[in-house]
Structure 1
Amino acid sequence: MDALLLSRIQFGFVISCHILFPAFTIGLASWLAFLEFRWLRTRERVWLDLYAFWLKVFAVSFGMGVVSGIVMSFQFGTNWSVLSERAGNILGPLLSYEVLTAFFLEATFLGVMLFGMRRVSEKLHFLATCMVALGTLISTFWIISANSWMQTPAGYALVDGVFEPNSWWRIVFNPSFPYRLAHMVLAAFLTTCFVIGGVSARYLHRGEHVEAARRMLKLAVAFAAITVPAQILAGDQHGLNALEHQPVKVAAMEAHWTAAPAGEGVPLVVFAVPNEAAERNDYEFAIPRLGSLILTHSLDGEIPPLTSVPREERPPVKPVFYAFRVMVGLGVAMLALVLLSLWAWRRRRLFEARWLLVGWRAMTLSGFVAILAGWYVAEIGRQPYVVYGLLRTADALSPTLAASSVLTSLIVFVTVYLAVFGAGVWYLFKLIRKGPQPFDPPSMDEGPDKRPARPLSVADEPWEGRA
């Protein structure tokens, strides 16, 4: 294992751990804004209890996302200094814009959101929650813009091998950016949606927090009924865009080795074992013409095969092929579960159908797996380039980097991540097992000595009476 492979493994490991938490908090911040809006609108206590419950989950997840993101950024200087040197004039400002806009916005209002309930006015606290939710979306905008530019570079000029910006509009809104942004935001929302649905199904299955769980499951089903079809449409458009700008990646996703005879179209390979040495698929099961219909929206459409480019220009086929099927398979499972849930809802059996609750519990973490699979398709599929078609990954590596140094840091990262994030995930599961508790924040007009030492239940002191 040389420094290049170890550096790729290290970056892949760190970003895999990192992306899970921001993806979760993107959807969770918007969910919190909705819960607080419902509380302010209806004054039903259950919405406030749910807000307080999910706010704790958000705080832990947000903290772990920030910590893992800081570690990831250092690798650009240590392991990928040539990438920083040649593309830093473009990637540096894009990442700086994310800090100057999204991170500062989140940092400004996060403290108010976490600790300001009833210490500031209700409207100001709701504004803080909305600003944090907006900050997560702005952060996504800039991060996806930077990554999309590496996938479909535009608006640059090469000067002595260095990328110089000549149109920031074309850099930010590069050809793949709108499709990838929509795909990622919807994936983040679906990840949170299925966590909420799975947690509520667990409570209903065990007869705990029934009223809160009923409301959460209804909202999860309703939101997923809108978002899952939208994600399928966004994924289809993203695939068409990738076929236009990164045809070899699409060929690897489909394990499409050779061009089909004219008029026969491209089959959809449902399952196979790609054989890269022999440039064929073993144990293949394929449906004729369906690949053309999905990929080109035509029964006899063609896509460039993998053999249309030299071997050194192809990405590793197996991980791209299998990761794509994991992502699509989970999307199909989500759609099936949503359709069954709508059917049960119509028959007034949404909360009583045990098999349906089991399905939601089984799909609780499906969004995380789908996001990881999608990122593997995107990042491995653009190999051997780090800036697609212009800068190879091998050429972006720090020239004096020793394999032993990368291996040592990789072992340290794995050890620390397992300890720190293992503890964080354990605490999240502990919070979820406990579930929503009666919450009564101290009033603004109460001094420190008059504030209750513990949360009051509705029976102890009704919220309406205090108001």
Structure 2
Amino acid sequence: MDVTPLSLARVHFLASLGFFALFLAIALALAWVLLLFKIQARRTGAPGWTAAYRLWVRLFALAFVLALAACVPLLFQLGALWPILMERVGNVLGPLLGFAVVTVFVLKSCFLGVMLFGQRRVSDLAHTLSVGMVAAGLLLATFWLAAMVSWTHAPAGAVLVDGRYVLLDWVEAVFNPAMPWLFASLVLASALTGAFLLVGVSAWQALQRPPADAERMAFRVGLRLAGVALALQVAAATGAAQWIAQAQPAKAAAAAGYWHGGETARWVLFGWPDAAGQRNRAEMALGRLPDWWLGRSAEGGQLGLDAYSGMLPPVAATFWSFRIMVLAGLAMIVLAGLTLLRLHRRRLDPAGLPRAWLHGLSAGTWLGGLALLAGWGYMELGRQPYAVYATVTVTEAAGDIPAGLLAGSLAAHLALYGLLFAAFVRMTYHAARYGVVPVRKAGARP
């Protein structure tokens, strides 16, 4: 198979974006969970909430550092892999990127230090407020990220003049048609990533020893968060699918494996899209797709992939990333739903679950992260061949780095990302097994 520099650049950037998005999602979710732990500790005075905070704040700090560190190669690759892109869209994306950087800088400089190292030096109220500001700052930084990415999917509020975008309306650019769906999906995916991390790690702890109060509380919070986020994510995904069918019909057709307009569109469960033969090999399909799932032509017929000859996204990658996302979502619904039903009369106590069930919950620790990564893949791969939808293609935006250099850089980055992820997992279970050192107020006797 001939691997082109363009395909290597796509995979390279998507891998870096996925690593950054995963740890940003963990940090965002845990920041709000930690705020809840602090509020509950102040409200009830139960020591379990404080113990849960002390464990999970360490994992939050590690996820935040990894997300922050991942920004460096991501920004470098944005200029190195896609140099023409920033020349054309810098008037729009440059200020949005600046807003995100300033938000993180203020967050790190003013509040993060108090949250992580100031618990013994400030009042409990001031410390709780700092945790709240960190959570709000991460949400705002995520908002700017969603604004940047969504604008490349729906470039509103700007016009092309001599090959470069000139901004006309900031409000229209930031709150573009893709923004509500992308931001909602990103926040909810982050909530699910954090929720299943809480549930999975707490279930693993229950397998090692009788759960303590802190572990029970973390398990309850994670399970309830998972239930709420799953219900909202289904609604957000339905709205996003309707928008994609109207605005990016080629992506919708690729996800559905629908090749020929005019034919009956069916739910294709499995198969292998064959671009050369314009069909799905070994296809397994059920009943008819709803009309809103696919784009429609001016005559009212459903648009298939044959309507986009020469401008198709990578169909197989889009098709399978969508299915991985859906399968991970269904697995989360089954795990969370059945666990909530089984434990609703036992105050969601993990001690009331059999060991096999706890093993299942522990195995599902990273289902939220898997769905998040597959969702990013579906969103970005399905937009191809455009870097900015319908105006700037990735071929126009790409640099001229040789394929050999790209392949070596990609292999090195993948190895590093794998090592860092493995280290995060190891540190997570080490902290879950051995706990943390209690925090002592300054001046208190040992």
Q: TM-score, normalised by structure 2?
A: 0.93
Q: Return the letter of the residue paired with 1:402.
A: P
Alpha carbon RMSD of aligned pairs, Å? Answer: 2.1
Q: Which amino acid aligns with 1:346?
A: H
Letter of the 1:213 partner, please give it: E
Give the SS at the match of 2:284: strand
Residue 410 (structure 1) aligns with: 410
Helix, strand or coil: the match of 1:281? Answer: strand
Q: How does 1:322-361 map to 2 (within 5 A)?
A: 322-348=320-346, 351=350, 352-354=352-354, 355-361=356-362
Residue aligned with 2:439, SS: coil
Per-residue deviation at 1:46? 0.9
**Native 8 Å contact 1:268 1:292 kept in 2:** no
Q: 2:141 aligns with which of 136, 139, 142?
A: 139
| Alignment correspondent of 1:430 | 430
Distance 1:55 1:418 in 2: 23
Equivalent residue for 2:439?
A: 440
SS of corresponding position for 1:313: coil
State how far apart, in whole Å, the 1-side matches of 2:344 and 2:426 are. 37
Amino acid at match of 2:175: F
Instruction: Note if 1:230 corresponds to 2:229.
Output: no
Q: CA deviation at 1:397?
A: 1.2
Residue number in structure 2 paired with 1:366: 367
- Which deviates more from structure 2 when the two are superposed, residues 352-361 or residues 381-390? 352-361
User: How many residue pairs are counted as aligned between the two chains?
Assistant: 438
Q: For structure 1, list consecutive stretches of 5 or more residues without a partner in the other structure.
A: 453-467
Take 1:267 and 1:254, find their aligned partners in 2: how far apart are those partners?
Answer: 8
Aligned counterparts of 1:136 and 1:303: Cα–Cα separation in 2: 41
Within 5 Å, give how 1:388-403 maps onto structure 2: 388-398=389-399, 400-403=400-403
Is the Cα–Cα contact under 8 Å of residues 143 and 183 in structure 2 kept in the other structure? yes
Moved more, 66-75 or 27-36: 66-75
- The answer for the alignment partner of 2:286 in structure 1 is 287
| Secondary structure at 1:315 match in 2 | coil
- CA distance in 2: counterparts of 1:296 and 1:255, whole angstroms: 11
User: What are the within-5 Å matches in structure 2 for residues 236-247 of structure 1?
Assistant: 236-247=238-249
For 2:287, give the aligned amino acid: P
Q: Tell me, yes or no, if the aligned pair for 1:248 and 1:314 is still in contact at 8 Å.
A: yes
TM-aligned CA distance change 1:393 to 1:156, over 3 Å: same
Q: Does 1:385 align with 2:379?
A: no
Match of 1:320 among 315, 318, 321: 318
Q: 1:416 to 1:274 in 2, by over 3 A?
A: closer
How far apart are 1:343 and its partner, in Å? 1.7
Q: Secondary structure at the match of 1:288?
A: strand
- For 2:179, the aligned partner's letter is F
Identify which range, 96-105 or 41-50, moves more after superposition.
96-105
Amino acid at match of 2:370: V
Alignment of structure 1 residues 143-292 onto 2, 5 Å: 143-261=145-263, 266-289=265-288, 291-292=289-290
C-alpha spacing 1:293/1:331, structure 2 compared with 1 (3 Å):
farther
Q: Name the CA distance, whole Å, in 1 between partners of 2:420 and 2:345.
A: 45
Contact 2:332 2:368 in 1 (8 A): no
Tell me, which stretches of 5 or more residues in structure 2 are unaligned?
none
Does the 8 A contact of 2:294 with 2:303 survive in 1? Answer: no
By how many angstroms is 1:409 displaced? Answer: 3.1
Counterparts of 1:38 and 1:272 in 2: how far apart (Å)?
49
Cα distance change on mapping 1:89 and 1:272 into 2, 3 Å? same
Aligned AA (1:333): A
Contact 1:23 1:188 (C-alpha < 8 Å) held by counterparts: yes
Distance in 2 of aligned mates of 1:216 and 1:411: 37
Assess if the C-alpha contact under 8 Å between 2:9 and 2:406 holds in 1.
yes
The one-letter amino acid of 2:382's match is: G
CA displacement at 1:8 relative to structure 2? 1.8
Which letter does structure 1 place at the counterpart of 2:322? F
Cα distance change, pair 204–420 in 1 and its aligned pair in 2 (3 A): closer
How far is 1:302 from its partner?
5.6
What residue is the counterpart of 1:24 in the other structure? Answer: 26
Deviation, 1:225, is 1.9
| Larger Rg over CA atoms | 1
Q: Which amino acid aligns with 1:69?
A: C
Q: Is the 8 A contact 1:196 1:216 kept in 2?
A: yes
User: Contact between 1:385 and 1:391, CA under 8 Å: does it hold in 2?
Assistant: yes
Is the CA contact 1:37–1:126 (under 8 Å) kept in the aligned structure 2?
Answer: yes
Instruction: Give the 3-state SS of the residue equivalent to 2:395 in structure 1.
Output: helix
For residues 329 and 302 of structure 2, what CA distance do their matches in structure 1 show? 24
Cα distance between partner residues in 1 of 2:445 and 2:69: 34
Q: In the TM superposition, what is the alpha-carbon distance from 1:374 to its structure 2 partner?
A: 0.3
In 1: Cα distance, 2:203 partner to 2:292 partner: 34
8 Å Cα contact 1:48/1:439 also seen in 2: no
Deviations 1:367-406 (A, max 9, x none): 11101100110011001110011001011012x4333443
Q: How much does 1:208 deviate?
A: 4.0
Q: What is the identity percentage for the equivalent residue pairs of Structure 1 and Structure 2?
A: 35
Partner of 1:105: 107
Are the aligned partners of 2:48 and 2:217 in contact in 1 as well (CA < 8 Å)?
Answer: no
In structure 1, the partner of 2:51 is 49
**Aligned residues of 2:37 and 2:52 also touching (Cα < 8 A):** yes
TM-superposed CA distance for 1:333, in Å, is: 1.5
SS at match of 1:272: strand
Under a length normalisation based on structure 1, what TM-score does the superposition of the two structures give? 0.89
